[in-house]
Amino acid sequence: MRKGLFLLIIGTFMLDSARAQQAVDSMRIYYPFGYRYVLPDYRTNRRELERFIGSVQEAFRKDIIERVVVRSGTSPDGMSEANERLSARRADSLEAYVVRRTGLPSELIEKQSEGIAWGMLRDRVAQSDMPYRDEILQILDHTPVWIFDDRGRIIDGRKKQLMDLRGGVPYKYMVREIFPDLRSSIAVSLYLKQTGQPAPEPKRDTLPETPAATDHEPKPAVRAPQPTVPAVPTVSSEKPFRPLLAVKTNLLYWATVMPDFNSYTFVPNLEAEWFFADRWSLAGTGNFAKWGYGGAKWFGISSWSLEPRWWLKGDGRFRWFYLGAYGQAGDYDVQDGSTPGSGYTGNLWGAGLSFGAAIPFSDRFGLEIGIRGGYRHAQVKGYSYEAPDYFLNVETADDHWGVTGIKASVYYRFGRGSNSSK
């Protein structure tokens, strides 16, 4: 899969029958590699989105919008067909975002999905001091995207020659220094209706228009059968890591620290979390212990809970802060040793809210810290034991409002992809 980028080249001029029309505002936003959705919290996206959306809303209220142009492209790495698809999907996503935030009719949005941004690549190479720059420009200017033999089979092309040049040294440089911008941005431009007044100066510096000669891949002459484009080797085909399932264990309970911050004995515990949407997950936890410790002391508990969570950072990677709501049920049996042979037992249930954070060490490993607070109801039966019988001494209930759970859990996540590329 290609590492795709949305690039909107702003400040283009459109000629009508009388005069040129100029974009009066534009924005450029960024995507993590492989993503198609608009991520406001990624890099400088939020500032750009808020500013541009405000301009569109104001112009829409005044009914002076001619059109909003979304122009997209990708970097050369990856398969061409995949680049075309991702370019179009990012344009669709940004169109939907603008429509949702501004109420602008989709008929006023013009999408230009262009696949590989060869023209932008040439501009960046020409402005750089990269090694073998002139040879790269020679290939970009004079080599077709695909070269066919007499039978219509692809035998060479622009990308292959770039990758083969000088043992791949200049291509690797472009992957490292130039491709990230090509595969990480998308931009839109705002055009206003002609009113007879001079158009205001653009609010942002504009990038040069992508030359038509290099902006689109040449199409081969119609042949039968139509040749199939082969997959071109890429520098990397990795996808960003997306977790599907996590397993965890709470270190505090293993260290004997309970929610009331008293120490009893270690409690084996296991948690599983299913990540089913970009911001949503479902966690299930089980705790179980049943043994004596230190003379007449006894501790037994089994509890189970479910907790749906909403993650504040909606990038599908489930890092940092989350909010949750939980339900819990279980039973217990505790002898504190103050009076030999006596203790308390019963059932419990509770519900409330949770807050926590997942701190990643890598794609798969990390530490989760959190706290629960809410209501817990416990049935309390005080008893005495005189072999071979148990005697009920008191029966009551305990209603607790406050902290009901604490955690510092290590986790391992199962998923797909890798974050080695951004």
Contact 90, 8 (CB under 8 A): no
Is 65 exposed, middle or buried (CB count within 10 Å of its CB: 0-12, 13-18, 19+)? Answer: buried
Q: What mean pLDDT do residues 153-172 have?
A: 90
User: Which of 6-15, 25-34, 291-300, 405-414 is the most confident on average?
Assistant: 405-414
Cis status of the peptide bond prior to 198, with omega within 30 of 0: no
pLDDT at 202 over 60: no
pLDDT at 184 over 70: no
- The pLDDT mean for the chain works out to 78
Q: What mean pLDDT do residues 159-175 have?
A: 91
Contact 73, 116 (CB under 8 A): yes
pLDDT at 142 over 90: yes
pLDDT digits (tens, 9 = 90+) for 40-60: 988 888 998 999 999 899 888
**Can you tell me the distance from the alpha carbon of 82 to that of 119, in angstroms, rounded to the nearest whole number?**
19
Per cent of the chain over pLDDT 90 is 28
| Confidence at 352, pLDDT banded by 50, 70, 90 | very high
pLDDT of residue 387: 60
pLDDT of residue 189: 75
**Residue 208, both tokens:** 């040069």
| Residue 78: closest CA among 86, 69, 89, 88 | 86
pLDDT of residue 133: 93
pLDDT of residue 411: 95
pLDDT of residue 195: 57
Contact 82, 2 (CB under 8 A): yes
pLDDT digits (tens, 9 = 90+) for 224-240: 444 444 444 443 444 56
Amino acid identity at 301: I
HSE of 334 in the Cβ direction (CA atoms, 13 Å)? 15
Rounded to two decimals, what is the model's pTM? 0.44
Is 267 exposed, middle or buried (CB count within 10 Å of its CB: 0-12, 13-18, 19+)? Answer: buried
pLDDT at 139 over 90: yes
pLDDT of residue 417: 65
Report DSSP state, residue 166: G
| Confidence at 126, pLDDT banded by 50, 70, 90 | very high
Greater confidence (2 vs 366) lies with 366
**Can you tell me the distance from the alpha carbon of 265 to that of 257, in angstroms, rounded to the nearest whole number?**
8
Per cent of the chain over pLDDT 70 is 77
